[in-house]
Amino acid sequence: MAIRLDTPIIELYRFEVSRLSAAMAKKLAEAVAGVFAKTDPSAATVEDLLSYFPARYEDRSNFISIDKLEDGMEAAVEIYVRNSGGIQVGRNRDPRKPPLYLFEVTGGDAERRFKPVVVKWFVSGKAAKSILQYYSERFARGTRFVAYGLWEYDDRKGTFALKLAKPEELEILPGEAKDLFTPEPAADPTVERGYSDEDLDEDIASPEFATVHNARRVPIYRKLGPFQTKRLREIIHSVLQKLDPTSVPDNLPADLRERQDLVPRAQALSEIHFPPEDSLISDYEMFRSAAQRRLIFDEFFWLSFAMQVLRGERQKEPKGTVIEISDVMKERMKQILPFTLTGAQRRVIAEIFRDLTSDAPMNRLIQGDVGSGKTIVAFLALFAAMENGYQTALMAPTEILAEQHFRNAGKLFAGTGYRIVLLVGSTKAAEKRKLHTAIAEGEIDLVIGTHAIIQEAVTFAKLGLAVIDEQHRFGVLQRAQLKASGLNPDILVMTATPIPRSLAMTVYGDLDVSVIDELPPGRTPVKTVVVGEDKRQGVYHGIEREIKLGRQAYVVYPLIEESAKSDLKAATIMYEDLRTRIFPQYTVGLLHGRMKPAEKEAIMAEFVAGRLDILVSTTVIEVGVDVPNASLMVIEHAERFGLSQLHQLRGRVGRGAEQSFCVLLADYKRTTVAKQRLGIMEETSDGFKIAEKDLELRGQGEILGTRQSGIQNFRLGNIVRDLDILIAARTEAEHYLTEKRLSPETSQMVKEVRSDKKVRLGNVG
């Protein structure tokens, strides 16, 4: 009986896989289920296990004899034990702490022709003495084993030494000295000897796995539950040996594999874990091996194919709304506009109006840099839907942003007669009940709020358009709920987080993307400077200068309260310092996410009204907060923030006509990556360039799934590193859905995509 891809991991013990007991098979299933977000461990399969790819590889094919060792050489060496034992290291002055021991194995070649070598590691813990006894038995005189690692020459002793963090990668081999091993009792030896599996971390490898760990290119895995890399290597090797190759279907068409020169899937799954003898480790390190390329292509192809299927299905969906854009409505729109639109805004509005008047439901993303004027475009779309007699909704990720939208909508639509309400989590229960009734009876034209809009109690009479602000902050299921609340309404999502083209073609493959790439006139680019702690007084003088000019300043911190484990300056502590010691002559406010909604609203209202000179805040003001009079942003511990977050924070200033400034206060001990991030912030204010670099430095999150980020967390692919594969996969997906759309092969692929729950969720963007 052979193992199949769909074999449950929990059943692997039945196939005599690598000494795997029923209990350990259950633990392995639980660990794999956790990685792949499966709530039921029995649902974790061999395919999931084989999709737990190596983190890196080691070339242990460099198997040499002791006389060939050189200082600094990485090599696998065969050694015969001469003697072994542990000694206590240093004095233990605290009797409450267990002593530390150094275990050393001295060995050489079988004929004693060369100087001995030393392999050593530390042992500690309450069971240290029992563990030392265990190692002494395992490495008895004459035992033959293999040691791999970085060998260093000890000038003082004239020998080569290998220092190990743990001995788990040492491999005892069969041979003449096997009789020197102390026979293991029938009972559990870890109980009799006083040490546990956790103390030992991993047993030394059994002889039957000698070819798995050495004399080859070896996979290195991240720890998976209780399983260390060596044990995983044994299990996966055994599974691959027993796997029925006919149970590994090749899910790509044969002509595609031939065009793209892709190896069969079964071969790829085997070789990604155990590279063939003639392979180059450098290819695996660069993710350019044949096995990696095939599996990366699979990920990109099926995602691209699914996105394009969704787009096609959406365009065929019947729409419950009929929206007309008349000349009379356009005139009314001009009357409520407080300023002249930019060319980019007019272009995007024209694209939205085409969608609103079409037979297919709109599913459009407005993408634009901070301050580019996305909100007014969204308001005009809402106005068009209301003019046609439909209810509308605008959902924001935070109450602060929802309240700001509510105030701005109130000003814009003041003379229109439309009824606008705010519905957020902090709305009182009695008021919520009234609003729910009014919305259900169609008395409300525009509902602005947070996720409270999509609670079960909210029912729309005639929802025609839903706008989702900062869409990446909402999970897919939340967006699906909003879409289900109306007559298959038009959906408009917008984000101030610029997405690079390479990412957008994957992330938003089923949306129509509009880009507002022009800032309104009168906006002066924010000047950004990175300074160290030694310039703090100069920064304070800069804050004072701006306040004396009648302007306001933000000071942003990464934490709310100080932690014993962190040296970060906390917002609450520094607020008191700024208010009482540094700027006692000015009014200073504090804003953070743990405050009650009413408190946050009151503080923001004070700052907007100009009654606060300085607002000390956490990143709660990152998105959407608009105070034109604020001209200075100081970000403490800027090295701890990501690029997109820094760019969003900087976007809170520069919203008026005056020159604004952003000061990034950073620790001199910042990492190389942090220095790169801060340098980019100084160089450019172009959100798309910043996003490209941020993607390069941080990678991507999740696209189709239910996570908040909205960007796919690929198991193997990386859209920056593998852009060429992404483009090839997308081109092939288009080929099958256009030129070969009527073929039985394409029909089957579409059927598979439609049956995938995650892909169906992706239909709401």
- 289 falls in which pLDDT band (50, 70, 90)? very high
* Predicted local distance difference test score (pLDDT) of residue 341: 92
* Predicted local distance difference test score (pLDDT) of residue 568: 58
* Predicted local distance difference test score (pLDDT) of residue 110: 78
CATH homologous superfamily of 527-684 equals P-loop containing nucleotide triphosphate hydrolases (3.40.50.300)
Instruction: Calculate ∠ Cα 49-53-54, nearest 5°.
Output: 125
Give 704's contacts (C-beta < 8 A, 6+ positions apart): 303, 306, 476, 712, 758, 759, 761, 762
Do the beta carbons of residue 64 and residue 77 sit within 8 Å? yes
Do the beta carbons of residue 3 and residue 20 sit within 8 Å? no
Please tell me which residue, 672 or 663, carries the higher pLDDT value. 663
Do the beta carbons of residue 722 and residue 287 sit within 8 Å? yes
Q: What class does CATH assign to 327-516?
A: alpha beta
Q: Which helix (H) or strand (E) is 79 found in, with range?
A: strand 73-88
Kindly tell me if the per-residue pLDDT of 503 is higher than 90: no
What number is the average pLDDT over the span 612-631?
A: 85
Q: Which helix (H) or strand (E) is 351 found in, with range?
A: helix 343-356
What number is the average pLDDT over the span 235-244?
A: 95
User: How far is CA 116 from its chain centroid?
Assistant: 48
d(CA 756, CA 765): 16
- 457 falls in which pLDDT band (50, 70, 90)? confident
pLDDT tens digits, residue range 550-576? 999 999 998 766 554 555 568 888 899
pLDDT tens digits, residue range 599-610? 887 898 899 899
* Predicted local distance difference test score (pLDDT) of residue 182: 36
Look up the pTM and report it.
Answer: 0.63
* Predicted local distance difference test score (pLDDT) of residue 184: 37
Domain ranges of the chain: 1-54+222-245, 58-220, 249-316+723-759, 327-516, 527-684
pLDDT tens digits, residue range 265-276? 999 999 999 999
Give 177's contacts (C-beta < 8 A, 6+ positions apart): 80, 81, 140, 141, 142, 143, 144
Instruction: Calculate ∠ Cα 719-29-25, nearest 5°.
Output: 135
Do the beta carbons of residue 517 and residue 348 sit within 8 Å? no
CATH homologous superfamily of 58-220 equals Nucleic acid-binding proteins (2.40.50.140)
Do the beta carbons of residue 556 and residue 634 sit within 8 Å? yes
Given this chain, do its domains 327-516 and 527-684 carry the same CATH topology? yes
Do the beta carbons of residue 470 and residue 378 sit within 8 Å? no
What number is the average pLDDT over the span 268-285?
A: 93
From residue 295, alpha-carbon distances to 36, 302, 593 in Å are 17, 11, 42
Do the beta carbons of residue 303 and residue 712 sit within 8 Å? yes
* Predicted local distance difference test score (pLDDT) of residue 185: 38
* Predicted local distance difference test score (pLDDT) of residue 550: 95
* Predicted local distance difference test score (pLDDT) of residue 487: 61
What number is the average pLDDT over the span 303-323?
A: 77
- 19 falls in which pLDDT band (50, 70, 90)? confident
- 188 falls in which pLDDT band (50, 70, 90)? very low
Read off φ and ψ for residue 564, nearest 5 degrees. Answer: -65, -20
In the DSSP assignment, the letter for residue 227 is B
Please tell me which residue, 486 or 446, carries the higher pLDDT value. 446
Give 713's contacts (C-beta < 8 A, 6+ positions apart): 700, 701, 702, 705, 707
- 702 falls in which pLDDT band (50, 70, 90)? very low
d(CA 192, CA 248): 44
Please tell me which residue, 600 or 449, carries the higher pLDDT value. 449
Q: What sections of 485-570 are H helices per DSSP?
A: 501-507, 536-548
What number is the average pLDDT over the span 587-607?
A: 87
Q: Which helix (H) or strand (E) is 553 found in, with range?
A: strand 552-556
Kindly tell me if the per-residue pLDDT of 391 is higher than 60: yes
What is the average pLDDT score of the chain?
Answer: 83
* Predicted local distance difference test score (pLDDT) of residue 709: 36
Kindly tell me if the per-residue pLDDT of 419 is higher than 90: yes
